[in-house]
Structure 1
Amino acid sequence: MKLYNPLITILLAINIAACGDSQKDKENYFSFDENNLKPIYQATDKVDLSLLNTKNKSIDSVAYFVNDKRISSVKGNGKFVLDLSGKKLGYQNIKALVYFEGDTISAKTRVEVASGIVPKLLKYTIVNTYNHDVDAFTEGFEFYRDTLVESTGQNGKSYFAKIDYKTGKAYKKVDIDQQYFGEGITVINNKIYQLTWQNETGFVYDANTLKIIKTFKYDNKVEGWGMTNDGKKIYHSDGTEKIWTMDPETQKLTDFINVYTNDSKIKSINELEWVNGKIYGNIWQKDAIAVINPQTGAVEQVLDLSALRAKVTNKDAEVLNGIAYNKKTNTIFVTGKNWDKMFEIKVNE
């Protein structure tokens, strides 16, 4: 029979009690009251934030951070109101740093912010209908001077070309290496920039000779989808709700916007076009174009082109994808992957 020393037992009990709660236990002292939070907010809303104090600890103060930037502090466990005006659309990561009884613990939550704008439905009229190469799996579509430049996808079949839009025929064509799936293009400073889908690789060409100038790697692990530019910056979609800004000189991704309507994010933004200060974006698997504010990501208008899809006779036609703005005529040329037609349309409200 094993004998226990009662003194040792008492000392052990005292030692365990002195240790108190572990760090993991302390992390549960405070949490945001999720019952007070809505599933989604609008950019004009304010968020009432309050902390649950499950152990009734004596709180000295709370510092609040949004996306790791300190924005305010309150004494004790006072409520904090977060004004969403001017905040980026999408998720806002919120942290509370709680100072209490000589210790510090953080609590985290996040809120999703949608646009405060209800998109308007645009109307359009068909100005002209042209032929389009049914073998072209369209990824990029843009006018350079009076010439239409088109890029296409599919491994082993990708190319970009200068197109006679009146006939739909390519008169100058550059094939892409078979390892690449070609994606969006844009022309800025007399250079053609082209993305590839999942290779994290892009190319720069001379816009006149079409000779390659350089190959570059994306500096973020994103996919390449659509491209456009405003004359200074390049805009690059990646298949999510994000549209990145790229520096044409360095090809570095410098910032991004998240694309939202008034009640939801718009995923799979595809081919892009800059039209009178707005970004027109194809939505993957939708026969519609979102008109996007390039500063905020808010979808301000929507262009439903499903009626055009119905006019396409090629049975193997894929989705709408291809937007090219002609500044001289103030018309937009649209087509789709493997469409046999290209439409010149005039957009109005």
Structure 2
Amino acid sequence: MIQPDLMNVKIAVDFDGTIVEHEYPAIGKVKLFAFETLKALQKRGASLILWTFRTGKELEEAVEFCRKNGIEFYAVNKNYPEEVFDEETVSRKINADIYIDDKNLGGFPGWSKVWEILVPDEIERMNRVFEKRSRKRLLAGLFGRKTTHMLLPFLLLTSLIGMPFVSVGCKGRRASGNNIEKIAVKKEAAPARPKKKITFLRPKEVLTFQTGHPVEFELIVGDSSTVPDSVVILVDDSRLASWHHYHIKGIWETKNATVGVHSLRAVVYFKGKKPRHKSIHITLTSDFIPKEYTYQVVKAYSHDRNAYTQGLVYEDGYMYEGTGLRGFSSLRKWDLKTGKIIESLNLSPDLFGEGICILGNLIYQLTWTSRIGFIYDKGSFTLKSKIRYNTQGWGLTTDGKNLIMSDGSHNLYFIEPKYFTILKKIEVFDDRGPVDQLNELEYIDHTIYANVYQTDDIVQIDPSCGKVLARIHLRGILPRREYRSDTDVMNGIAWDPVGKRIFITGKKWPKLFEVKFIPLH
């Protein structure tokens, strides 16, 4: 079963016979629900690749046809946008997680079935929506029971992409959106039914708390005449408690919870009925006030002031550095004592290099918006393989086992290094709220240090829960006399685990500094 969150999922889609009827080289009639489904998949984070027999003019026509219908693909007949096909090194088989093609064994099932397979949770949700008897009776009267069931995926898709659902009732009266139940299928009024609405009474107005603060919740399911079989309360996907009553009161102890946004969800069970769901979202900020530090410069080293520093790693007397800007991005190794470049590799001019890290004998390097990264042999800088991700690439470090990546938000992603699979995500908060624009990263003594973009600050983060432990202020470390017109912000943290030294620099800075962090009193 495909997870509801399709982030980082690559879906290869055929054109003729799949998106449109097969009338190659002409473009056939659009398949029912094709573009509605593709838009909804993109909305959930999927990367769509057009994978078709078409080439040349016919391919351009297909791409433009899809663009006019609201779909722009992540790549076209390529694994990723920048790929240059070389039959000696690149397989013609697309590297995707899912393939949608009319040549499947058993044929193309239709876009409604595709959606039902890929996003089963939404079909269940729509089933719950249409449990209301008046709507089910309406649709059954209009279309028949079997057709009504087939329409559920379509109704979901139209709600996701903002299309109004319009139909005409038995007497020709037009209904749209939520007014559809007003169409009279039968003259007699439906019998009154007990209400089973789920209402959260608390928390209601204040939905932000500090970790450690108990969150009291209270909800009502219908009334005393509609006592449910059970009510289960979940925090995210973890069961908190259950009750056998229509009026629920409880407490969520948040002492050991991570910071960030959490879902508090009630699942209500009635005998012989599908469960009902109701959620509210609660934000937890840190209960820890970050310690404040300033700095002391221990030693200054030469740094290439033309290097737009995006990633920095120290190992065995050498600095490994990833640089950015299109046309100037590189990976380089240089001697800390002399500043001499020992090894250098330029990226393609259309790529904007970002963070790097070393794990074992491999160097990992991100790019900014191209959603592609590279794995090199550390000794020779030979390209070993490529990695792909579905967000922006900013900073990169490692805890010795997994990779840790930032994307310019307040999120950090823990990633399995072989296939670049996201294992978990943490949100970074201090006592005031989320800390955004996390940039270059370094893992030091079981904590994460991160440059905060466009500031002279570094934050220290607890990787287990996302709380900010400390904030280091480095304003003025590069003297103003060293600035020139293209000198940019501080970015770059490196750690010498043997000598216990911390190094910092910036984009197009002429100096790299060894520093100590001093508590502010």
The TM-score with structure 2 as length reference comes to 0.60
State the shift of 1:298 in Å: 1.0
Q: Which of residues 301, 309, 313 in structure 2 aligns to 1:138?
A: 309
Letter in 1 for 2:421: K
Q: Who is 1:115 aligned against?
A: 286
Say which SS state the counterpart of residue 17 (structure 1) adopts: coil
Q: Structure 1: which 5+ runs fail to align?
A: 1-10
Q: How does 1:190-201 map to 2 (within 5 A)?
A: 190-201=361-372
How many equivalent pairs are there? 331
Q: Which has the higher strand share?
A: 1
Q: Which of residues 311, 317, 323 in structure 2 aligns to 1:152?
A: 323
State the shift of 1:37 in Å: 5.3
Q: Who is 2:201 aligned against?
A: 33
Q: Which of residues 351, 374, 394 in structure 2 aligns to 1:180?
A: 351
Q: Who is 2:424 aligned against?
A: 255
State the shift of 1:134 in Å: 2.1
Cα 1:251/1:20, change in 2 over 3 Å: same
Cα 1:33/1:319, change in 2 over 3 Å: farther
Q: Is 1:334–1:344's contact at 8 Å kept on the other side of the alignment?
A: yes
Q: How does 1:134-283 map to 2 (within 5 A)?
A: 134-218=305-389, 221-283=390-452
Q: Who is 2:235 aligned against?
A: 66
Letter in 2 for 1:84: T
State the shift of 1:69 in Å: 3.3
Stretch of structure 1 that moved more, 241-250 or 201-210: 241-250
Map Cα deviations across residues 206-235 of structure 1 (whole Å, 9 max, x no partner): 1111111111222xx221111111222211
Map Cα deviations across residues 315-348 of structure 1 (whole Å, 9 max, x no partner): 3222111001123332211111112222111124
Stretch of structure 1 that moved more, 233-242 or 304-313: 304-313
Q: Who is 1:43 aligned against?
A: 211
Q: Which of residues 182, 189, 195 in structure 2 aligns to 1:16?
A: 189
Cα 1:63/1:299, change in 2 over 3 Å: same
Q: Is 1:59–1:99's contact at 8 Å kept on the other side of the alignment?
A: no
State the shift of 1:75 in Å: 2.8
Q: Is 1:314–1:338's contact at 8 Å kept on the other side of the alignment?
A: no
Say which SS state the counterpart of residue 267 (structure 2) adopts: strand
Cα 1:69/1:315, change in 2 over 3 Å: same
Distance 2:203 2:214 in 1: 15
Q: Which of structures 1 and 2 has the larger relative contact order (alpha carbons within 8 angstroms, sep 6+)?
A: 1
Map Cα deviations across residues 97-146 of structure 1 (whole Å, 9 max, x no partner): 23469765322101001222110012321011222222211110011221
Cα 1:92/1:57, change in 2 over 3 Å: farther
Distance 1:184 1:274 in 2: 13
Distance 2:321 2:349 in 1: 18
Q: Who is 1:3 aligned against?
A: none
Q: Who is 1:5 aligned against?
A: none
Q: Is 1:280–1:290's contact at 8 Å kept on the other side of the alignment?
A: yes
Residue 511 of structure 2 is aligned to residue 338 of structure 1:
no
Q: Is 2:354–2:395's contact at 8 Å kept on the other side of the alignment?
A: yes
Q: Is 2:355–2:365's contact at 8 Å kept on the other side of the alignment?
A: yes
Q: Who is 1:96 aligned against?
A: 266
Q: Who is 2:456 aligned against?
A: 287
Q: Is 2:317–2:335's contact at 8 Å kept on the other side of the alignment?
A: no
Distance 2:471 2:287 in 1: 15
Distance 2:363 2:319 in 1: 12
Distance 2:460 2:470 in 1: 5
Distance 1:192 1:210 in 2: 8
State the shift of 1:308 in Å: 1.3
Q: Which has the higher helix share?
A: 2
Letter in 2 for 1:229: T
Letter in 2 for 1:189: G
Q: Who is 1:316 aligned against?
A: 486
Map Cα deviations across residues 229-269 of structure 1 (whole Å, 9 max, x no partner): 12222111111111111222332221121111122111111
Q: Is 1:147–1:164's contact at 8 Å kept on the other side of the alignment?
A: yes
Q: Who is 2:475 aligned against?
A: 306
Q: Structure 2: which 5+ runs fail to align?
A: 1-184
Q: Is 1:30–1:53's contact at 8 Å kept on the other side of the alignment?
A: yes
Cα 1:34/1:72, change in 2 over 3 Å: closer
Cα 1:127/1:40, change in 2 over 3 Å: same
Letter in 2 for 1:315: S
Distance 2:398 2:441 in 1: 9
Say which SS state the counterpart of residue 248 (structure 2) adopts: coil
Say which SS state the counterpart of residue 59 (structure 1) adopts: coil
Distance 2:512 2:403 in 1: 25
Say which SS state the counterpart of residue 346 (structure 1) adopts: strand
Distance 1:338 1:249 in 2: 32
Over the residues paired in the alignment, what is the CA RMSD in angstroms? 2.3
State the shift of 1:175 in Å: 0.4
Say which SS state the counterpart of residue 189 (structure 2) adopts: helix
Q: Is 2:294–2:474's contact at 8 Å kept on the other side of the alignment?
A: no
Distance 1:145 1:174 in 2: 20
Map Cα deviations across residues 124-175 of structure 1 (whole Å, 9 max, x no partner): 2101122222221111001122110110111221101012233444231100
Q: Is 2:387–2:419's contact at 8 Å kept on the other side of the alignment?
A: no
Stretch of structure 1 that moved more, 259-268 or 159-168: 159-168
